[in-house]
Structure 1
């Protein structure tokens, strides 16, 4: 029909739906063509096309205990405002693009991406299709919503805590590549410099896993002069450090203090009792859902970044430097 009257499909659709915009002359042309063609609108198809799914698509890393906790809070926050979640996972063999494509196929009205690694330009382009809320990661120059904590400040608070306990030799197990890892590494180095200990900064390679923490701990013990404290990129990595120290017979925190980041469910178990940094999972989830609703239901178009303050959670894995600490240089894994 659009070709018959020489108009765009969008203009014809506006006339047939009785929407404002087209001139009276245009309306008459379209209605006459419709009558000549015997056109009858399919009301069921029209309703289906306009029906909202009220689904918020969430991309989650299946290996992250912290992401699992975020999803639980996201469900609660979404249900409170009449939405539901569609989940799509990242795994070792399933990348972000695949996870996002699945969420779009389910007609998710907005996407809440947990710790996305995609470039800012890619995320901005995706936001042009559906509203995107990135959770947990700083994104510079992207026109989309971000909800995160100040990662550099969080690691800095851990270092401040350890310095207050008398530690001067503090090592850091890195989180690998990516913006989150970069921010936390910077937080460690900045805090060490602030305390006049930048000459003693020591960053060991690592990643998100327990295995990387175990490798880093074994390396520190084999070095002959291990630090008095270790800060790990996240709780999983810190638990790996604790595991290696326990196997080597190193008492925590008497002989070495250990701290992580995220305050996930494992860190709270009595067998780990891990000092860590809380990102405020419940508040992040609430803010992320609120951002999606503002975009979908209230028409907000200006991107917004919400930066929440991290909170140090002190547990039993950190303590004051012990007088007999010099004996630790004899430890081996």
Structure 2
């Protein structure tokens, strides 16, 4: 059975079909009284707008496509909170896709999102090749979060990862640490920027002889594997700058399994300040990047493109901050 139509709502409300269409598109051209009458009729009939029809009529679905690189990383969930809030404020909906941190999967996810004819795309931490990003941006306005590109038709929103890593090293050095290791994010987005910030800070603080980078990735499993590699070495460092919070949780778990206390034996600092970091039994010192603000800013940047308010590329760079909790302390004697 087919559901109620615009014509059915118009007949129930005693107005024209075109007026019902204006109400469903939230047009300001409709008086408040008629708007209430149409919405009441729609509720009584159980009418829901036909998204496919809207897509055919307007060329896009009034939605924003959002591709999340890693669905398991809470950082992205918190960015999406900001995206959804900003989209809702502007009468838009979002469609989610995920890429599983694999370029081929991300490419397919972007292609699927484009099939919905979104008004624009937001790509969160993509690892897909730049050519695929530029191809998508040639079809719809596209904004990257936690990824940099030079293309003039692609906008970006990032935090200053080099400064964030430097804040982590400086905090540990101020506590008295010298043997500070960085567990990096491998091929993950912004990993090289954070690694560079760590290396520059270690050199600036005359700690070059202690500089050491352990390969890893932005996952708890990667963190656990990096911790096992450190445990297998001759001596443990006194402090670890982890790739992100998720990675740091894996490191702490593996150290605890081996009887290594955090922070009494080894201090650990993360990056992102996700909700994981604030859990009482974790208490992770970390670098905060404003996830929800980044999501909102990315959405507003995309809407500027849609409204024709800007043609030049936007390059937003937000400043991170140190958040001190209980996972860092003075080095072991």
Question: Which TM-score tier does this pair reach, normalised by the shorter chain?
Answer: 0.7 to 0.9
Structure 1 equivalent of residue 318 of structure 2 = 308
Q: Which structure 2 residues correspond to residues 37-56 of structure 1 after superposition, within 5 A? A: 48-50=56-58, 52-56=60-64
Q: Deviations over 1:237-290 (max 9, x none)?
A: 111110011111111111110011111121111111111111101110111011
Equivalent position of 2:274 in the other structure: 264
What is the CA distance between 1:166 and its match in structure 2? 0.5
Structure 1 residue 274 and structure 2 residue 284: aligned?
yes
Change beyond 3 A, Cα 1:141–1:191: farther
Q: Do residues 159 (structure 1) and 169 (structure 2) align?
A: yes
Report Cα offsets for 1:175-210 as digits up to 9, x if no partner.
112551111111110110010111210111111111
CA RMSD after TM alignment: 1.9
**Paired residue for 1:78, among 47, 62, 87?**
87
Contact 2:55 2:61 in 1 (8 A): no
Residue of structure 2 equivalent to 1:29: none
Report the TM-score, using the length of structure 1 for normalisation. 0.79
Given that 1:124 and 1:142 are in contact with CA atoms closer than 8 Å, whether structure 2 keeps it comes out as: no
Contact 2:272 2:287 in 1 (8 A): yes
Equivalent residues, number? 279
Q: What pairs with 1:42-121 in structure 2 (closer than 5 Å)?
A: 48-50=56-58, 52-60=60-68, 61-91=70-100, 95-121=105-131
2:208 aligns to what? 198
1:243 matches 2:253: yes
How many Å separate the matches in 1 of 2:66 and 2:163? 27
Partners of 2:60 and 2:118 within 8 A in 1 = no
CA contact (8 A) 1:230 1:256 kept: yes
Larger Rg: 1 or 2? 1
> What are structure 1's unaligned runs of at least 5 residues?
1-44, 326-333
The CA distance in 2 between the partners of 1:300 and 1:263, in whole Å, is 32
SS at match of 2:190: helix
Residue of structure 2 in register with 1:33 after alignment: none
1:47–1:103: structure 2 CA closer, same or farther, 3 Å change rule?
closer
- What corresponds to 1:181 in structure 2? 191
Are residues 51 and 221 of structure 1, via their aligned partners in 2, closer, same or farther at CA, if it must alter by over 3 Å? Answer: closer
Partners of 2:273 and 2:55 lie apart in 1 by 46
**Cα distance 1:288–1:46, how it changes in 2: closer, same or farther (>3 A)?**
closer
Q: How far apart are the structure 2 equivalents of 1:46 and 1:222?
A: 60
Alpha-carbon deviation of 1:91? 2.6
Q: Tell whether 2:263 aligns with 1:253.
A: yes
Structure 1 CA distance for aligned equivalents of residues 186 and 54 of structure 2: 50
The equivalent of 1:139 in structure 2 is 149
Deviates more, 1:188-197 or 1:83-92: 83-92
**1:46: how far off?**
10
Comparing 197-206 and 177-186, the one that deviates more: 177-186
Q: Cα offset for 1:121?
A: 3.5
Which stretches in structure 2 are left out of the alignment for 5+ residues?
Answer: 1-52
Instruction: Find the aligned partners of 2:76 and 2:144 in 1 and give their Cα distance.
Output: 13
CA contact (8 A) 1:152 1:184 kept: yes
After superposition, the C-alpha distances for 1:271-310 in whole angstroms (9 at most, x for unaligned) are: 1111111110111011101111101123422111100001
